[in-house]
Chain A
Amino acid sequence: MLQIKNLHANIDDKEILKGINLEVKAGEVHAIMGPNGSGKTTLSSVIAGREDYIVTEGSITLGDENLLDMKPEERSHKGVFMSFQYPVAIPGVTVTNFIKTAINAKRKSEGKEDIPAAELLKMIREKAKLLGLKSSFLSRSLNDGFSGGEKKRNEIFQMAMLAPKLAILDETDSGLDIDALKTVAEGVNKLKSKDNAVIVITHYQRLLDYIVPDYVHVLSDGKIIKTGGKELALELEAKGYEWI
């Protein structure tokens, strides 16, 4: 599904990614771990299309399509979703209105009409229930005054609504207590299927107790230096990154 070949990327003329190779197939969960500054957030931002990063070499394809040619919104329409470490607050725009805008933008790109209100409502109710979100939450302004846990749950709610092919969870565990972490992980697990894939980017192993990866990659200084199964995460937790 996702193919990354020899990816090099810069920000402000400084090379952060120095030749990443990664293949993610449908139905798989990949974890990318690594110390601070290793390039984890850069990798997710480059996949999602953040324009501050310049790709100097290599390719990223989703299915048959070259993602590097696309704007961030186009990548989103093609099924790339990235959950943010620090989601942005938009006062005056409710959670519902925001997701409606996002869904209709995607439908427009596919030449479809706006989603009928009844259909949207039904879907919102279903997904909210799945994540244990109250209806009062949905009429609040997006991320405005949300707690850390609420922000992350809202991210997973949007993921559920947009049903992406590829979901990248960037440090989704940061700032979460164990209960919130469990809820978020359960949400992700419920959304997992044989047709989509998940990349979990994390500094710590604890999220991987709940979202169990098929592969664990260790990123260091802009390169993947080791790949293994889920047991690699435990080993890293015990021995630290120095060990590699």
Chain B
Amino acid sequence: MKNKLIASFLAFENQISTETDTDFHKIRSRAMQAFEKKGFPTKKDENWKYTSLKKILKNDYTLFPDLPKNELELKEVSNYFLKGIDSYKIVFVDGVYNPYLSETTHDGFDVCLLSSAIKKTKYQIVLNHYFNTIVSDKDSFSQLNTAFASEGAFIHIYKNKIVEKPIQIVYFTTDTGKDCMLQPRNLIIVDENSQVKIVERHQSLSAKKVFTNAVTEIFANQRAHIDYYKIQNDEEDASLIDSTYVQQKKQSQVTMHTYSFGGALTRNNLFFYQKGPHCNTILNGITLIDKEQHVDNQTNVYHQSPDCESHELYKGIYDDKATGVFNGKVIVDQIAQKTDAFQQNDSILLSDESAINSKPQLEIFADDVACSHGCTIGQLDSNALFYMRQRGIPKKEAKALLLFAFTNELVDRIRIPALKELITNIVSQKLGVELGMDL
């Protein structure tokens, strides 16, 4: 797979015009060299100890799928969008922008495509200032993504804007006849005092194998508020490596919600850099998987300024042979006095063959900080089960209700009502809970 990627890179470079984007050409070439040198990680890498890539890398993916034969009809995919509310949408089908399903804007702020932003000179300064500035050069998947980065969402919210409508970024894959690999790249900039809510989803619509290697860079400038939701509820043959880098300036607040409900392999690499005092970083995660699915959550919070906070709560339910990883890294620099960092990972294992590897990693170089972490792994409370059965609810349903209650603390934190409904529906459906009408 590595060799194929290297060979394809030249073809890719020829395919896109090199005249107008010489800076990009340099960035891509450097990234390709970095990837070539490092290659894919293996289980010998400490950060990949519990996640094997063998299964997904042995596949022969096509990097440039043919354009979809049939245009997707809205009604075929409407279930994957938020219902009953107005929103901006940036929709891609097999890596190609789909204007018919999208709703972009340049009215007061930009919600558009990275490819078109790259081509227009008026965006050059912004792009040069932000693009690929916070991506880790040690992460070979991110480097690979940079090498092939040509398409994705570009969102720029200018200062003092509260964007009322949520923005949805959706990547669909269809049956193009081949297994395919996609490398979407998102760039999100939120300027001073502005607020935005963004929902990102990767969704396979066929039984073909899909491997997505996504990178998102997010910049939260002074006092910006960003609520970012990742929905991962994919088909069994879809795998996702998602790396998201977030830079926060003073008094900004970024909340990242990660809902991992399905897919063969899902890896979430989150990197937060607090670059000013009084930043707040909130990470919420729900993992709910079964069969042989695997979800690996890697969180990296770099406290690089004083008086900042970070709060992480990840909950997981694992059934059958499903496995999970939670690796929560908090690095507190010497300058980052008065840091308040909290991390909690709670898991429920429903079968003997399911497993979770939970590992907190605190590296603290400042002396006046409050950092804590906790981890629980357990089964269901027998008292609570008996209570529900006493009221006539059969054991299976009672279990499901208890699991629903376990995740509810996190579902309750969703600030878009239509999304809360969507997630509640997915969770209750997965758990087999019927929660029809609320009177």
For chain B residues 363-403, which have a beta carbon within 8 Å of chain A?
A: 381-384, 386-395, 397-398, 401-402
What is the number of residues of chain B that contact chain A, defined by CB distance less than 8 Å?
A: 31
Contact of A90 among B390, B401, B411, B436 (CB under 8 A): B401
26 contacts between A and B (CB under 8 A): A71-B389, A71-B394, A71-B395, A72-B389, A73-B389, A76-B389, A76-B391, A76-B392, A84-B387, A88-B381, A88-B384, A88-B388, A90-B401, A90-B402, A91-B409, A92-B405, A93-B404, A93-B405, A97-B435, A97-B438, A100-B436, A100-B439, A101-B393, A103-B392, A120-B439, A158-B391
Q: Once the chains are docked, how many angstroms separate the CA of A72 from the CA of B389?
A: 6
Q: Once the chains are docked, how many angstroms separate the CA of A106 from the CA of B392?
A: 6
A96 at the interface (CB under 8 A from B): yes
Main secondary structure of the interface of A (DSSP, over half): helix
Q: How does the 8 Å CB contact mask read for A35-52 relative to B, with 1 for contact and 0 for none? A: 000000000000011111
Q: Chain B nearest CB: distance from A72 CB in Å?
A: 4
Q: Which residues of B contact A (CB under 8 A)?
A: 381-384, 386-395, 397-398, 401-402, 404-405, 407-409, 411-412, 434-439
Q: Which residues of A contact B (CB under 8 A)?
A: 48-52, 71-73, 75-77, 81-82, 84, 86-94, 96-98, 100-103, 105-106, 109, 117, 120-121, 124, 138-139, 141, 158, 162
* Interface pair B383/A82, CB less than 8 Å apart: no
* Interface pair B392/A102, CB less than 8 Å apart: yes
* Interface pair B390/A88, CB less than 8 Å apart: no
Q: Once the chains are docked, how many angstroms separate the CA of A182 from the CA of B436?
A: 35
* Interface pair A117/B409, CB less than 8 Å apart: no
* Interface pair A105/B397, CB less than 8 Å apart: yes
Main secondary structure of the interface of B (DSSP, over half): helix
> Which among A71, A72, A77 has the greatest number of chain B C-beta atoms within 10 A?
A72
18 new A-B contacts at CB < 8 Å, known A73-B389, A97-B435: A49-B390, A52-B382, A73-B390, A73-B394, A76-B390, A84-B390, A88-B388, A90-B401, A90-B405, A91-B408, A92-B408, A93-B404, A97-B438, A98-B391, A101-B393, A105-B392, A120-B439, A158-B391
* Interface pair B393/A92, CB less than 8 Å apart: no
> Nearest A residue to B393 by beta-carbon distance?
A105
* Interface pair B391/A162, CB less than 8 Å apart: yes
Q: Chain B nearest CB: distance from A167 CB in Å?
A: 12
* Interface pair A124/B439, CB less than 8 Å apart: yes
> Nearest A residue to B412 by beta-carbon distance?
A92
Q: Once the chains are docked, how many angstroms separate the CA of A90 from the CA of B385?
A: 11
Q: Chain A nearest CB: distance from B410 CB in Å?
A: 10
Residues of chain A within 8 A (CB-CB) of B398 are 73
Q: Once the chains are docked, how many angstroms separate the CA of A49 from the CA of B389?
A: 9
* Interface pair B387/A73, CB less than 8 Å apart: no
Q: Once the chains are docked, how many angstroms separate the CA of A159 from the CA of B398?
A: 18
